[in-house]
Homo-oligomer: A and B are copies of this chain.
Amino acid sequence: MGSKGRSDLSMFFDARSVAIFGSFREWGGLGSGVLENMMKLGYGGRVYPISRSQTEVMGLRTHAAIREVSEAVDLAVVITPRSAVPEIIRECAESGVKAAVIVSEHFAEAGDEGAELQRQLADVARRDGIRIMGPNTIGILNAANGLVTNPYLFDSKKIRQGGIAYCSQTGITGAQCQPLEDRGLGISKMCDIGNKCDVDEVDLLDYLAGDPETSVVAMHLEDVKDGRRFMEAARKLAACKPLVILKSGRSEAGAKASASHTGSLTGNDRIYDHAFRQVGAVRVSEWQEYWDIPKVFATGRLPEGNRIAIVTYSGGAGVVAADVAADVGLVVPGFSSATVEKLSKLSPRSAGNPIDLGPILSSAYEPASTQEEALSAVVSDDNVDCVAIGMYVGPLAPVEYLTDLIDRFMLNVSKPVAFWIYGPKLSIVEEAARQLEARGMPTFTDFETAVRALGKAARYAEFRRSLDNVAV
């Protein structure tokens, strides 16, 4: 279970037994929702529904109170009206429960009375040592063991295991709202810290810094409770793993909205911006970036410099991508003479960067091998630190053709390569992207985000190199 410091959150993510407080009615019972989601994801721990009115729920025996459970339970999930919560948490603490996710809402975000109840929870946590996540949260998901505290039914049969930890201060990031499976995201853990009466972003940063399953952390924040502690934790994490932050409430309107969402005081955005830069965090400003930018980091590859190769089958897409590369501080160098020579043999007209492989393709006798040669030449070019490739999938190049081709030219490539897959049928594009993600190839829904991700990666790599230089 790792070290037992305050920031050890393994009693949440690695809980071997879970008690659920909530409604277990058949339709729309949120306690039943947690159970069903756990079953879907194949959670193998012991689960105890706590209910006075039912003796059995979905094949599980219920207990009327937590003290009647014969073992000391690791984790409680609480989804009751708010007034019942403080007493439940006290009982849990008494019975040796180590941690609780409080899904119930209407606490600090809902006015004075709720704020007072939330203070009571924080007191219990401090006094009795039980750790609390929330209230007003959907809690956690661990892709490795299928543990999930989300009470809202989701369709996913499986969350693909991978290196990205997604942490937020909102429930919309949960599997009930996001096409995690359809997008093929490779996830280690997910976490909604809600109103943060106890567990906060700092605990999470400390825990994830040491989590071997997590190679990159994406974090959505509305506020930071303790700036100094946050800086320390973020600096420690970013020194070993990329940390992507979506800090909202940047504007006055956003800050006002945030106060009524999670009771957060968002603070001056310039200070945040400066702080994030100082600790080496990668800041993003929109949800699509929160989901997508971490993909390029999940490969574990960082560019050795800021030189990008842009490969397209459309000159028009290449020009826009080159503009975005310039926006994010990447340069678009000429290819080395060796590459130019190779490319010139394949086509008299396609040796520039961005390179449009369309003309090569339309004049090649063996398009597949010609493409492979051209792509291999580009991705292994010494002038190039990272590569963005836009590729078509559809009737003229089915999914298997595409994945085979990519497998071949990506063999032995160690620099980061970001893909944009496009085509006339969304279902086919999405299937190709899913298969590429599963192969560890970061795949984006637009070319610009692919390029931006590489720009962020180059900047983070520079930060990491600056640390190494200091260390020397």
Please indicate the chain B residues that have their CB under 8 angstroms from the CB of A427 in the complex. 182, 427
Please indicate the chain B residues that have their CB under 8 angstroms from the CB of A253 in the complex. 322-323, 325-326, 331-332
Q: Chain copies in the assembly?
A: 2
Is A175 in the interface zone, CB < 8 Å from B?
A: yes
Q: Smallest Cβ distance from A7 to chain B, in angstroms? A: 24
Is A14 in the interface zone, CB < 8 Å from B?
A: no
Q: Compute how far the CA of A349 lies from the CA of B287 in the bound complex, rounded to whole angstroms.
A: 25
Is A237 in the interface zone, CB < 8 Å from B?
A: no
Q: Compute how far the CA of A183 lies from the CA of B316 in the bound complex, rounded to whole angstroms.
A: 21
Q: Compute how far the CA of A244 lies from the CA of B332 in the bound complex, rounded to whole angstroms.
A: 28
Is A338 in the interface zone, CB < 8 Å from B?
A: no
Chain A: residues with CB nearer than 8 A to chain B? 105-106, 109-111, 152-156, 168-173, 175-183, 220, 222, 246, 248-254, 256-258, 260-262, 285-288, 310, 312-320, 322-327, 331-332, 348-349, 352, 354, 356, 358-359, 362, 392, 394-396, 422-427, 429-430, 445-448
Please indicate the chain B residues that have their CB under 8 angstroms from the CB of A246 in the complex. 320
In the complex, are the beta carbons of A257 and B322 less than 8 A apart?
yes
In the complex, are the beta carbons of B315 and A349 less than 8 A apart?
no
Please indicate the chain B residues that have their CB under 8 angstroms from the CB of A325 in the complex. 251, 253
Q: Smallest Cβ distance from A241 to chain B, in angstroms? A: 23
List 15 contacting pairs A-B, 8 Å CB cutoff, sorted by A: A110-B359, A172-B313, A178-B422, A179-B424, A179-B425, A181-B424, A182-B427, A222-B316, A248-B319, A251-B325, A253-B322, A253-B323, A256-B322, A256-B332, A285-B323
Please indicate the chain B residues that have their CB under 8 angstroms from the CB of A446 in the complex. 286-288
In the complex, are the beta carbons of A424 and B168 less than 8 A apart?
no
In the complex, are the beta carbons of A326 and B252 less than 8 A apart?
yes
Q: Compute how far the CA of A8 lies from the CA of B424 in the bound complex, rounded to whole angstroms.
A: 31
Cross-interface CB contact of A177 among B152, B262, B423, cutoff 8 Å? B423
In the complex, are the beta carbons of A172 and B322 less than 8 A apart?
no
- The 4 A-B pairs with the shortest beta carbon distances in the complex, nearest first, are A170-B316, A261-B315, A251-B326, A172-B314
Closest B residue to A420 by beta carbon equals B287
Please indicate the chain B residues that have their CB under 8 angstroms from the CB of A424 in the complex. 154-156, 175-182
Supplied contacts A155-B395, A182-B427, A253-B326, 14 more A-B pairs, CB within 8 Å: A154-B395, A168-B316, A171-B314, A172-B312, A173-B316, A177-B314, A177-B392, A222-B319, A249-B319, A253-B323, A253-B331, A257-B354, A260-B315, A287-B447
